[in-house]
Amino acid sequence: MKEEVGSSAILSSHQKGEAGEYAVASELAIRGWMVDMPRRGARSIDLYAHRFQDSRTCGVQVKARSRGDLTLSDGLLTFADPAADSWVVLVTLADAGSRSRFSVVPRNHITLAMRAFQGLMDNEGKPWTRKMPTGVRKL
């Protein structure tokens, strides 16, 4: 099957990551948040979201896909400081003209799920490539 122009399936992993970050930034802005993007290559934070009404600032890590499994980074295996307002947004990118889907999850919930799944795979002697299979994707 040939992919059509405007299909998110033909993007490179780098392009998917950037598209996901911009999609999340746009969605946050629509909901009244001020969004800043850190310098390229920043680790563990893709966006900073600020809400002036309550002086809240959140760190956001974005994980994007067009379809299939989500690949999660090893950095998510380390718990964030409990005082940090740190979130992960899982994005399923839509084709041009359609709306992407977002799941917003506290970062440490992702870490806990990843550690549990890693332990399960280790106990079964199976390798894990940090891809969350279909039954685990919906956290």
pLDDT tens across 54-88, in order? 999 999 999 998 887 788 888 898 999 989 999 99
Average pLDDT over residues 19-29: 95
Distance CA 90, CA 81 (A): 21
Cα torsion at 74, 59, 107, 96 (round to 10°)?
-80
Which residue bears the tokens 């598209």? 19
Distance CA 76, CA 96 (A): 30
Nearest CA among 35, 77, 87, 120 for reference residue 136: 120
In this structure, whether the domain defined by 8-137 belongs to CATH 3.20.20.480 is answered with no
Q: Is the pLDDT of residue 131 over 80?
A: no
Q: Where are the domains of the chain?
A: 8-137
Distance CA 108, CA 121 (A): 20
- Residue 90's pLDDT is 94
Nearest CA among 37, 32, 110, 122 for reference residue 77: 110
